[in-house]
Amino acid sequence: MTQRLKREELPLAADMLRRGMLVAFPTETVFGIGADATNELAVQRIFVAKGRPSDNPLIVHLADVSQLDHVARDIPDLAHKLFERFSPGPLTIVLQKQSKVAPTVTAGLDTVAVRIPSHPIALELLRLAKVPIAAPSANRSGRPSGTTWQAVLEDLDGRIDAIVCEPGCDVGLESTVVDVSDGELIILRMGSISIADFRLAGFHARHADSASTNHAAESETNSTFDRSLLRRSPGTVHPHYRPSAKVVIVDSEWNGTPIGGRIAYGGLVPIEGMQPTMIRFFQSVNEYAAAFYEFLRECDRAGIDVIYCQSVEETELGTALMDRMRRAAGQSVPSLREG
């Protein structure tokens, strides 16, 4: 049985975490399943609860930068500058790990991914827990991430010890994951902090996987795809964000014939001739991103067979949304297609 906790019960939630239990909590991106990152057994239970492949490392969450030295070492100046500018917030930085981080957290890598979330409940819980908290997105492995507590329970009721049942997840897509180990800012996973945001703040960033930003040019970019970076972010090779329904990406000019039984459509504008069973319009790319995972889950609840999702322009948050949409549609990174 998973205990349902309210905000007032955060001290209890923190106590459970300190005792090696699994507690899901909201962040500004998606819900996470927390465990004490220094407790190997607790961390192993996360992998069991999610059915997560053991080669996919977890992000360690901290209450503030003063805890950084507990989990990471030899922190480059660039990382300090990025934390100063973007934390607390949806930025995750991969750093050299300290030995007290449980080995399973990092899937045996000598690096650890670190993030300071900005959601007040997440921050308060981290402060009360006093230990670094490893937390992957709160969903069964491969499924769309949970952005409401109800969605989290749909996947994990009975598999985790407790959940903080409060709203959050205004961003709706996971944090931007970056690597700075070569003195360069390299994006391993797109998130709400975009290349344009980095540029505005005076940082030059580039994608590890240029194929994910320009799908049309994918066959060309395959040859320049940086495999060493893919190895550095192992999670990106696994299937992700997949509802039971089939996801098909269409643009606003699409004039094909929808296939399948019960169809759904989600996008910014209507598509002429499309008469879906379920329809959802979003006012902006931000709203589309915030509601995307929940939209996929709603379609599954309604027994939809095929979900048509309208593509968006790949600028700012649109880049992260398109990345998730392609993965939901099963169009994955080059290494997956190859085998």
- By the criterion CB under 6 A, which residues form the site for ligand TXA? 27, 29-30, 32, 56-59, 90, 92, 94, 106, 109, 111-113, 115, 117, 135-137, 174-175, 177, 188-189, 232-236
Backbone angles phi, psi at 163, to 5 degrees: -145, 140
Closest CA to 111 of 186, 197, 174: 186
Cβ distance to ligand TXA smaller for residue 168 or 276? 168
Cβ distance to ligand TXA smaller for residue 109 or 278? 109
Tokens of 164: 């903080």
Cβ distance to Mg ion smaller for residue 137 or 236? 137
Cβ distance to ligand TXA smaller for residue 175 or 221? 175
Binding residues for Mg ion, how many (CB under 5 A)? 1
Closest CA to 114 of 154, 161, 58: 58
**Residue 89: which of ligand TXA, Mg ion, none does it interact with, CB under 5 to 8 A by kind?**
none
302, 264 Cβ separation under 8 angstroms: yes
**Residue 118: which of ligand TXA, Mg ion, none does it interact with, CB under 5 to 8 A by kind?**
none
What single letter denotes the amino acid at residue 258?
Answer: P
Q: How far is the CB of 48 from ligand TXA (least distance, A)?
A: 15
Q: Count Cβ atoms below 10 Å from residue 319 Cβ, excluding itself.
A: 23
Q: How far is the CB of 100 from Mg ion (least distance, A)?
A: 24
Name the residue with the smallest CB distance to ligand TXA: 235
Q: How far is the CB of 158 from Mg ion (least distance, A)?
A: 20
Q: How far is the CB of 118 from ligand TXA (least distance, A)?
A: 11
Question: Which parts of 248-307 interact with Mg ion (CB under 5 A)?
Answer: none
**Residue 32: which of ligand TXA, Mg ion, none does it interact with, CB under 5 to 8 A by kind?**
ligand TXA
Q: What distance in Å separates the CA atoms of residue 217 and residue 33, rounded to the nearest whole number?
A: 36
Report in angstroms the alpha-carbon separations of 76 from 62, 158, 208, 262, 266. 18, 41, 19, 52, 42
Cβ distance to Mg ion smaller for residue 236 or 310? 236
93, 113 Cβ separation under 8 angstroms: yes
Question: Which parts of 126-145 interact with Mg ion (CB under 5 A)?
Answer: 137
Q: What distance in Å separates the CA atoms of residue 169 and residue 228, rounded to the nearest whole number?
A: 32
* Secondary structure class of 137 (helix, strand, coil): strand
Cβ distance to ligand TXA smaller for residue 94 or 249? 94
Closest CA to 105 of 60, 137, 51: 60
Residue numbers at the binding site for Mg ion (CB under 5 A) = 137
